[in-house]
Amino acid sequence: MRQFFSMLFKNPLTTFAFFTLITLIFLVMITPWLGLEDPNVINTGNKYLPAFSDNHILGTDHLGRDLFSRLMWGTQLSLAVGVSASLFAAFFGSLIGILSGYFGRRVDNILMRGIDMLMAFPYILLALAIVAVLGPGLINALVAVVVVNVPFFARNIRGVTVGIAHKEFVDAARLAGMSHFKIIVFEILPNVLPIIIVAMSTTVGWMILETAGLSFLGLGSQPPQADLGSMLGQARNSLISHPHVSVIPGLMIFLIVICVNLLGDGLRDALDPRLKSGALSRPAAATKVQVDENEKKSYQHNQDALLSIVGLQTRFNISHRTYKASNDVSFHIKPGECLGLVGESGSGKSVTALSIMGLIPSPPGVITGGSIQLDGEELIGMPYERLRELRGDKVAYIFQDPLSTLHPLFKVGDQLIEAVQVHHPISRAEARAKAIELMEEVHIPNPVDRLDSFPHEFSGGMRQRIAIAMALINNPSLIIADEPTTALDVTVQGQVLSILDQLRRERGVSILFITHDFGVVSQLCDRVIVMYAGKIVEEGATNDVLESPLHPYTKRLIQCVPKLGRGKTALHAIDGLPPLTCDLPPGCSFAPRCHKASENCTRVEPTNQIVVDRLVKCHEPEGVE
How many residues in total does the chain contain?
Answer: 625
The DSSP string of 156-222 is HHHHHHHHHHTSHHHHHHHHTT--HHHIIIIIIHHHHHHHHHHHHHHHHHHHHHHHHHHHHTTSSSP
DSSP per residue, 76-124: HHHHHHHHHHHHHHHHHHHHHHHHHHHH-HHHHHHHHHHHHHHHHS-HH
Give the integer Cα–Cα distance in Å for 331 and 371.
11
Select 366 or 550, whichever has its Cβ closest to ligand ADP.
Answer: 366
- Cα-to-chain-centroid distance, residue 165: 21
Q: Write the CA distances from 492 to 373, 451, 499, 514, integer angstroms.
A: 34, 21, 11, 17
484 interacts with ligand ADP by CB under 6 A: no
Whose Cβ is closer to Mg ion: residue 349's or residue 434's?
Answer: 349
Backbone angles phi, psi at 411, to 5 degrees: -65, 150
Q: Specify the residue, 152 or 323, whose C-beta has the smaller distance to ligand ADP.
A: 323
Binding ligand ADP by CB under 6 A: which of 24, 351, 357, 469? 351
Q: Per rule CB under 5 A, is residue 510 in the interface with Mg ion?
A: no
Report if residue 513 touches ligand ADP, rule: CB under 6 A. Answer: no
Biggest distance spanned by C-alpha atoms of the chain: 107
Between 257 and 342, name the residue whose CB sits nearer to Mg ion: 342
CB of 313: closest distance to ligand ADP in angstroms?
Answer: 13
Chosen from ligand ADP, Mg ion, none, partner binding at 287 (C-beta under 5 to 8 Å by type): none
Of 14, 94, 246, 350, the one binding ligand ADP by CB under 6 A: 350
621 neighbors 539 (Cβ within 8 angstroms): no
- What is the nearest approach in angstroms of ligand ADP to the Cβ of residue 361? 5
Instruction: Out of 137, 224, 346, 592, name the contact with ligand ADP by CB under 6 A.
Output: 346
Residue closer to ligand ADP by CB (options 321, 407) is: 321
Number of residues that bind ligand ADP (CB under 6 A): 15
What span, in angstroms and rounded, lies between the C-alpha atoms of 284 and 342? 28
Selected range binding ligand ADP among 63-71, 341-349, 395-403, 415-423, rule: CB under 6 A: 341-349
- For ligand ADP, the closer CB: 211 or 350: 350
Report the partner that residue 351 touches, choosing among Mg ion, ligand ADP, none (CB closer than 5 to 8 A by kind).
ligand ADP
314 lies in the site for Mg ion, by CB under 5 A = no
Distances (CA, A) of 370 to 92, 251, 333: 58, 57, 16
Interacting positions 246-285 with ligand ADP (CB under 6 A): 277
CA angle 434, 439, 440 (to 5 degrees): 100
List the beta bridge partners of residue 288: 366
548-587: contacts with ligand ADP (CB under 6 A): none
Q: Which among 16-24, 235-243, 318-326, 468-476 is the span making contact with ligand ADP, rule CB under 6 A?
A: 318-326
Helices (H), 276-427: 293-297, 349-356, 384-390, 402-405, 412-423
Site for Mg ion (CB under 5 A): how many residues? 1
Q: Determine the residue with CB nearest Mg ion.
A: 350
If contact means CB under 5 to 8 A according to the sort of partner, which of ligand ADP, Mg ion, none does residue 361 touch? Answer: ligand ADP
326 in contact with Mg ion (CB under 5 A): no
Helix or strand holding residue 341 (H, E): strand 338-342
- Closest residue to bound ligand ADP by CB: 350
Instruction: Write out the H or E segment, with its range, that includes residue 510.
Output: strand 510-515
CB–CB of 478/374 below 8 Å? yes
Q: Does 543 bind ligand ADP (CB under 6 A)?
A: no
With CB cut-offs between 5 and 8 Å by kind, which of Mg ion, ligand ADP, none does residue 325 bind?
ligand ADP
- Category of 261 on φ-ψ map: left (φ > 0), alpha (ψ -120 to 50) or beta: alpha
CA dihedral 266, 272, 277, 278 (to 10 degrees): -50
590 binds ligand ADP (CB under 6 A): no
Residue 316 touches which member of Mg ion, ligand ADP, none, C-beta under 5-8 Å by kind: ligand ADP
Residues 355-394 vs ligand ADP: string with x where CB under 6 A? ------x--x------------------------------
> What minimum distance in Å lies between the beta carbon of 347 and ligand ADP?
4
Q: Name residues whose C-beta falls within 8 Å of residue 377's C-beta, 6 or more positions apart in sequence.
A: none
Task: For Mg ion, give the closer residue by CB, 296 or 516.
Answer: 516
Q: Is 350 in the site for Mg ion (CB under 5 A)?
A: yes
Residue with Cβ nearer Mg ion (350 or 415)? 350
Partner whose footprint covers residue 343, from ligand ADP, Mg ion, none (CB < 5 to 8 Å by kind):
ligand ADP
Residue 404 as a binder of ligand ADP (CB under 6 A): the answer is no
Residues 6+ apart with CB under 8 A from 590: 532, 533, 537, 551, 552, 553, 597
Indicate whether 592 belongs to the interface with ligand ADP (CB under 6 A).
Answer: no
Number of alpha carbons in the 13 Å side-chain half-sphere of residue 11: 16
Q: Which of 237, 345, 446, 459 binds ligand ADP (CB under 6 A)?
A: 345
Which of 401, 405, 473, 474 lies closest to 439, judged by CA?
Answer: 473
581 scored as a contact of Mg ion (CB under 5 A): no
The single-letter DSSP state of residue 49 is P
Q: Give whichever of 299 and 399 is closer to Mg ion, judged by the CB atom.
A: 399
Least CB distance to Mg ion at residue 354 (A): 9
Residue 51 binding result from ligand ADP, Mg ion, none, given CB thresholds of 5 to 8 Å by partner type? none
Does 485 bind Mg ion (CB under 5 A)? Our answer is no
Nearer to ligand ADP, 152 or 316 (CB): 316
Which CB sits closer to ligand ADP, 277 or 459? Answer: 277
Contacts of 339 (CB under 8 A, 6+ apart): 331, 333, 510, 511, 512, 513, 525, 526, 527, 528, 529
Radius of gyration of the chain (CA): 34
Report whether 552 contacts 622 (CB < 8 A).
yes
Residue 208 touching ligand ADP (CB under 6 A): no
| Interacting residues with ligand ADP (CB under 6 A) | 277, 316, 318, 323, 325, 343, 345-351, 361, 364
Q: What is the contact surface with Mg ion in residues (CB under 5 A)?
A: 350
